[in-house]
Chains A and B, each alone.
Chain A
Amino acid sequence: MYDLVVIGGGVNGTGIARDAAMRGHRTLLVEKRDFAAGSSGANSGMIHGGLRYLQYDRRVTELSCIDSGYIQRIAPHLLFRIPFLFPIHAERPDRPTVKERLWGYAVRVVLDLYDVYQPYKRGKPSTRLSAQEAYALEPSLRRDLIAAISFDEWGIDPFRLCAANALSARRHGADLATYTEVIDFLRGEGGRVEGVVLKDRQSGRIEPVRARIVFNAAGPWAPKVARLAGVELRIRGGKGVHLTLDRRVSNYAILCQAADGREVFVMPHGQTSVIGTTDDDFYGDPDDIRIHEDEVRYLWEAIERSIPSLGFARILRAWAGIRPTAWDWGKPEDDLSREHVIYDHRLQGAPGLLSMVGGKLASYRIMAEEAVDVIEDRLGVPRRPCRTHLEPLPGGESYPDVAALAREYRIPETTVARIAYRHGANAVAICELARKEPRLRAPVCRCEQVIGAELAYSIRYEEGRRLLDLRRRNRLAMGPCQGSDCAQVAAALLARELDLDAQSHRNELLSLLQLRWKGQRGVLVGASAAQQELSRCQHLGAAALTGLPTEVEDRPPLPRRTIGEEPAPLPMEVR
């Protein structure tokens, strides 16, 4: 019997599970796919302070900034600085109109106000730049500026954040169950929710689990989960599309204006540039989000106005997620409040069930803290102190000496740097694995610098059960080749580690290729069409993967050996 069952393995679900486990409650985290497979994984890749919300939702900005500061403290290895440029355009830069100058002034005022919150997240204050200074910093800009103002944000890998939270929860005694779906609730007298009925998608096995409180943190699926308890929960799902380019096209993140006046951005993110984002009401099935070429062109044209040389870059893929925004009627998507809301469904005849929607990735930690406070209240226990802002996430304890590790273990320094980014202090354990099993020193994904040891580590210690999980944990197949080079070797490694049968092995390859295809469909332009033809010839033609079942994303995953706890991080001394 659990104290708490959390439904949903996104940033909220894993954050809540971590906090609850750290406070000593017996917790089970249930996720129907994998950590961050939903909205959290479709995040832009930033924990941004919410500059936009300064106008009408200032609390959101404040919370996001404060919490971003905490995230820095607990997972410093996952964050990297993304400085932004807010360009002030003029039709004739030598003779700006009054309106254009006033707009520049307004932007300065807003960014000065934003500066008040920057210290919370150790961001640099905004700086006003002349047009010439802006061109010097960012040569690719179109020459139509009168000024530009810089401000600071932090970039993050949302998959690693969720995985780290989940693994931390496990370390504190929580149970994790990925690829496990909630298919019903256990009800007691008075309609009380007394637990969940779980279906293990691997074996098909159905199992009831009793719990004192069930927390629904399923994001866009929250209404569907709530309906299983006969409760209506409404959200305004907002579809957001992003594009990934094959190279950096700018040094700074640049805000650009789209055709309908919305602000979109192009930002450097690791080895790529990310363009985002749209915001459209979504009425469809969150399990089946498709990206249309219209949305791609909308973003592309917006950025091309500010960076005319954009066409030299290739779009690797388009990706989308649904923001589970709290429901409101009569407002356009962009104007909706990003505040989070916690619902107690007692009033709807289902005591024991709580839900949370809304919020931002940047403030997940404070949202989780509030949620666990409410949970403790419903459990009837005295409030225990929250320590999620004090204890580092797994890997965040210390940052390894990349150069020393590279020398000691004879792994290229750039690779070790990527491992250190993704795994922090645990990079040492991965290097040790490469030393113990020399075959694993081989690079699998050359685009994203993933060696076999990192994949093996994720499979053995990080609940990596499918090729798609490895993609999320380690950025496998996320680079320019999008799996053409690395998918087959990675699938073979997975098959070896997990003792997969041939059909599961093929299924894994097809799942990865299908996901990749989903992202490529809307961007079959120029060189991407050639790349996709090559991939089809290699996989469907040469490897004869044609004709296998198509519903591969939905198929149950694979046999799993109980592998075990992560090894504790090794001491920093390399010698």
Chain B
Amino acid sequence: MPTEGGLRTDVLVLGGGMAGTVAALAARRRGAHVTLVRRSYGATALSSGALDVAPDPLATPQRPRGQELSIEACIHHLAALRPDHPYAILQDELGRIPEVLAFAEEAIDGVRFVSPLEPSRGLATPVGTLKFSAGALDSVIGGDLVRSEERIGVVGFRHHLEYDAELWARLLTEACAEAGLVRTFLPVACDFLSREDDVLLRPFEIAQRIDDEPGAFVSSLGRALPSGVQRLLLPPVLSRGEPDTVLRLIEDRLFLPATESLATRLSVLGLRLQRFLDAALEREGVDVVEGEVRAGADRDLDTLALRSARPRSPPRQAFLPGAEPRGEDEEEAPIRAGAVVLATGKYLAGGLAKNGCLFEPSMRLPVTLPGRRCSSSYGLTSHELVGEQPFFAAGVRVDSRLHPLDEGGRVVDERLFACGDLLAGHDPAGDGTAMGVAVFTGYLAGRWAALAAAEGTSFSGEGG
């Protein structure tokens, strides 16, 4: 709530992706006044629709399903294998995983997690691989290929280059065979999108088209349906926001259960997830402000200022250390909070940047790469794409209460917390724990921030 002298709030969350949203919702549940400041969409809005929590420790290319350990066991294994990973740092809180996932599922409409006592689900990707995930959007999670033995109709668009039903069916058959599953996939090449320029349509445009003409789409499916299909797997383009309409129509007219696959590039599902997060924030009464927050003096919570988020002049890159790209000068409003949660993401969303050396732009916290000096340019990456890449596991080091630490290992500020991709020791693309870390650390950061704010001065000015 803006008052004279700028914004004041109990808990300030920086970043509006999964981690920031869960932190804001968790803090709100404890009764704090929460303001969430976000600059733009980040990794969450570009995500695949999968909510991966932890990979099976024994999964290999030859045995993709690994030992099919329960999600909980996978988390403990990961914590044991990677002492720098947030799961290991929060070892003592791992028992709260079921509570955390249940909270996320309940607070955010449209996502679902399986029970942590069960193994991850094997979901289809557009590339014809299987991704094992502990949760996903509602329209996706039902498409587990491991447990269902039905004959699956794989839907593509006959006239469109990207959604090739026959190829997809063949690739999925082989991928399942590699995972030791004998599954039948039948191509359903429908003739929706048969107008001349429809070949040019991008995924979100196809989703719009299906939104506009769901009946025509379902009819085209019906025409292309071979016999023997028991459920449908659709490409991840069912709708901009409400896939239930089409899914229900398929159920009613074709008498078939249907799910969407995960997405990869140009992800409509990622945007949908972001919308679900935004809806949850609104429902819970979190103040969302478009902008960006910077500390006036390094690491000083009392010098935070809010700047507008409108596009500035393009960032300049440089190789000289410390040359931070600066935009035009803008108006700044001071912002005061009882506690601050940093959920600003990694490079994609701008939570970390590299210009000569790695740095964290909001508060200039020190950035760590596990086991390496970050000022050196050697050893940040490895030559093999699928190898260990310390550069992408860089981040802010935290203690077991998610307080960022300075170079000497001391807590920077008792009121400051960090969560999500920003944390050191976590490679969102590489270690298969992106959403799990976001939800788990976000929840804890939010709760502890609310606690810290309540112990300090609340925004109404009372107490001490």
B354 pairs with A524, CB closer than 8 A: yes
Of residues 47 through 93 on chain B, the ones whose CB sits less than 8 Å from some CB of chain A are 47-48, 50, 52, 59-61
**Known: A524-B354, A526-B325, A526-B355. Is A537-B47 also a contact (CB below 8 A)?**
yes
Q: Which of B25-33, B147-155, B290-298, B426-434 contacts A (4 or more CB under 8 A)?
A: B426-434
How far is A439 from B200 in the complex, measured between Cα atoms in Å? 9
Which of B46, B167, B200, B391 interacts with A537 by CB under 8 Å? B46
Per-position 1/0 for A538-549, Cβ under 8 A of B: 111111111111
B247 to chain A, nearest CB (A): 22
Q: Return chain A residues, CB-CB under 8 Å to B277.
A: none
Q: Is A173 an interface residue (CB 8 A)?
A: no
Interface set, chain B 196-216, CB cutoff 8 A to A = 196, 199-200
A529-B347 contact, Cβ under 8 Å, with A492-B162, A536-B429: yes
B353 at the interface (CB under 8 A from A): yes
- For residue A180, give the distance in angstroms from its CB to the closest CB of chain B: 26
Stretch of B15-23, B249-257, B314-322, B327-335 at the chain-chain interface: B314-322
Contact of B264 among A513, A532, A543 (CB under 8 A): A543
B430 pairs with A536, CB closer than 8 A = yes
Which residues, 476 to 508 on A, are CB-close (under 8 Å) to B?
484-485, 488-489, 491-493, 495-496, 501-503, 505-506
Give Cα A444 to B161, complex, Å: 9
B101 interface hit (Cβ, 8 Å): no
Residues A314 and B200 in contact in the complex (CB < 8 Å), given A513-B385, A540-B429, A546-B386 = no
Q: Does any Cβ of B come within 8 Å of A60's Cβ?
A: no
Residue of A nearest to B173 (CB): A502
Of B129, B352, B383, the residue contacting A518 (CB under 8 A) is B383
Which residues of chain A come closer than 8 Å to B183, judged between CB atoms? none
In the complex, chain B residues whose CB is within 8 Å of the CB of A488: 126-127, 264-265
Asked if A502 and B428 sit within 8 Å, CB to CB, the answer is: no
B278 at the interface (CB under 8 A from A): no
Interface string of A409-443 (1 = CB under 8 A from B): 01000000000000000000000000000111111
Across-interface contacts of A525 in B (CB, < 8 A): 317-319, 354-355
The distance in angstroms between the C-alpha atoms of A543 and B48, with both chains bound, is 8
Contacts of B386 in A (CB 8 A): 510, 540, 545-548, 550
B428, A495: Cβ atoms closer than 8 Å: no
Whether A534 pairs with B46 at a CB distance below 8 angstroms is: yes
Using CB atoms, name the residue of chain A closest to B387. Answer: A550
Inter-chain contact A533/B429, CB cutoff 8 Å: yes
Interface presence of A301 (CB below 8 A): yes
Evaluate contact between A539 and B199: CB separation under 8 angstroms.
no
B348 cross-chain contacts in A, Cβ below 8 A:
530, 533-534, 537
Known: A311-B316, A526-B353. A442 touches B381 (CB 8 A): no
Quick one: closest B residue to A412, CB to CB?
A: B200
Chain A residue at minimum C-beta to C-beta distance from B55: A546
Q: How far is the CA of A117 from the CA of B161 in the complex (A)?
A: 50
Residues in B neighbouring A441, C-beta threshold 8 A: 199-200
Inter-chain CA distance A430–B157, complex, in Å, is 23
A514 touches B384 (CB 8 A): yes
- In the complex, B128 has a CB within 8 A of chain A: yes
Chain B residue nearest to A288 (CB atoms) is B383
A470 → chain B closest CB, angstroms: 14
Contacts of A527 in B (CB 8 A): 315, 317
For B172, the closest partner residue in chain A by CB is: A502
Residues of A within 8 A of B59 (CB): 547
Q: Is there an interface contact between B127 and A545, defined as CB atoms closer than 8 Å?
A: yes
Among A502, A514, A517, the one with the most B-chain Cβ atoms within 10 Å of its Cβ is A502
Q: Is the CB of A550 within 8 A of B354?
A: no
Whether, in the assembled complex, B263 has its beta carbon less than 8 Å from a beta carbon of chain A, the answer is yes
Q: Is the CB of B267 within 8 A of A542?
A: yes
| Interchain CA distance A485-B48 in the complex, whole Å | 14
CB distance from A502 to the nearest CB of B (A): 4
Q: Are B377 and A442 in contact (CB under 8 A)?
A: no
Q: Is A521 in contact with chain B by the CB < 8 A criterion?
A: yes
**Chain A residues with CB below 8 A from B411, complex form:** none
B159 within 8 A of A: yes
CB distance from B29 to the nearest CB of A (A): 29
B199 and A543 contact, CB distance less than 8 A: no
User: At the interface, yes or no: B412 with Cβ under 8 Å from chain A?
Assistant: no
**Which residues of chain A are near B381, meaning CB under 8 Å?**
521, 524
In whole angstroms, how far apart are the Cα atoms of A410 and B325 in the complex? 44
Complex interface bits, B176-198 against A, C-beta within 8 A gives 1, otherwise 0: 00100000000000000000100
A452–B34 CA distance with the chains assembled, in angstroms: 50
C-alpha spacing A501/B353, complex, angstroms: 40
Q: Is the CB of A312 within 8 A of B167?
A: no
User: Does any Cβ of A come within 8 Å of B241's Cβ?
Assistant: no
| A residues less than 8 Å from B60 (CB atoms) | 547
A290 close to chain B: CB less than 8 A: yes
Q: Nearest chain-B residue to A549 (Cβ)?
A: B61
B246-278 Cβ-contact flags toward A at 8 Å (1 or 0)? 000000000000000011111100000000000
Residues on B with C-beta less than 8 A from A542 are: 47-48, 50, 125, 131, 262-264, 267
Query: Which of A441, A452, A538 has its CB near the most chain B CB atoms (within 10 A)?
Result: A538
Measured CB to CB, the closest approach of chain A to B312, in angstroms, equals: 12
The answer for the CA separation of A463 and B348 in the assembled complex, in Å, is 38
Give the chain B neighbours of A528 by CB distance below 8 A. 317
Within 8 A of B (CB), among A549-565: 549-550
| Contact call B127/A537, Cβ cutoff below 8 A | no
Q: Does A142 contact B (CB under 8 A)?
A: no
Closest B residue to A513 using CB positions: B385
Q: Is A227 an interface residue (CB 8 A)?
A: no
Task: Chain A residues near B377: list those with CB within 8 A.
Answer: 293
Q: Does B336 contact A (CB under 8 A)?
A: no
> Cβ of B128 and Cβ of A502 under 8 Å apart?
yes
Chain A contacts with B in 198-253, Cβ cutoff 8 A:
none
**Cβ-defined partner of B265 (8 Å) among A296, A484, A517:** A484
Contacts of B46 in A (CB 8 A): 534, 537-538
Nearest chain B CB to A312's CB is how many angstroms away?
6
Q: Is B130 an interface residue (CB 8 A)?
A: yes
CB distance from B53 to the nearest CB of A (A): 13
Cβ-defined partner of A502 (8 Å) among B170, B318, B319, B432: B170
* The 4 nearest A-B residue pairs measured at CB: A526-B317, A542-B48, A502-B174, A311-B316
User: Beyond the given A438-B199, A536-B429, could you list 15 further A-B residue pairs with CB under 8 A, ordered by the A residue number?
Assistant: A301-B319, A314-B317, A438-B159, A442-B200, A485-B265, A502-B128, A502-B170, A510-B386, A518-B383, A537-B348, A538-B264, A543-B129, A546-B432, A547-B59, A550-B385
Could you name 22 residue pairs across A and B whose Cβ atoms are closer than 8 Å?
A297-B319, A492-B162, A493-B161, A496-B167, A502-B171, A505-B171, A521-B381, A525-B319, A525-B354, A527-B317, A530-B347, A530-B349, A533-B346, A533-B347, A536-B429, A537-B429, A538-B264, A541-B52, A542-B48, A543-B127, A544-B132, A547-B61
Please give the residue numbers on chain B whose beta carbons come within 8 Å of chain A beta carbons, in ascending order: 43, 46-48, 50, 52, 59-61, 125-132, 159-162, 164, 167, 170-171, 174-175, 178, 196, 199-200, 262-267, 314-319, 325, 346-350, 352-355, 377, 380-381, 383-387, 389, 391-392, 428-430, 432, 434
